[in-house]
Amino acid sequence: KYGIKYDKKLLYNPDYNIKLGTAYYRYIKEMHHNKDVLAIAAYNSGHNAVENWVKEYGTENLLNEIKNN
């Protein structure tokens, strides 16, 4: 979907690593309704962690908490 195939042998290649990371970021951003703050949190903490936080606090409360800290 994002035009890059996973290749474990290329992970230490900077160009490939950046492309793969960018593709993953686009994927999780779509999963979080294009909300950059949630996408960045998911990129760093994991998608499941952010999903649990959204369930516990609600999307808007979580966004405000992240932005204010």
Q: Residue 51: what pLDDT?
A: 93
Q: Residue 63: what pLDDT?
A: 87
Q: Measured between alpha carbons, how far is 67 from 54 in angstroms, rounded to an integer?
A: 14
Average pLDDT, rounded, for the chain: 91
Q: Residue 7: what pLDDT?
A: 94
Q: 42-63 in b/e burial notation, b at 16+ Cβ within 10 A?
A: bbeeebeebeebbeeeeeeebb
32: closest CA among 54, 7, 10? Answer: 54
Predicted confidence band of residue 52 (pLDDT cuts 50, 70, 90): very high
Q: Measured between alpha carbons, how far is 32 from 10 in angstroms, rounded to an integer?
A: 28
- Is it the case that residue 44 has pLDDT exceeding 90? yes
pLDDT in tens, 9-37: 999 999 999 999 999 999 999 999 999 99
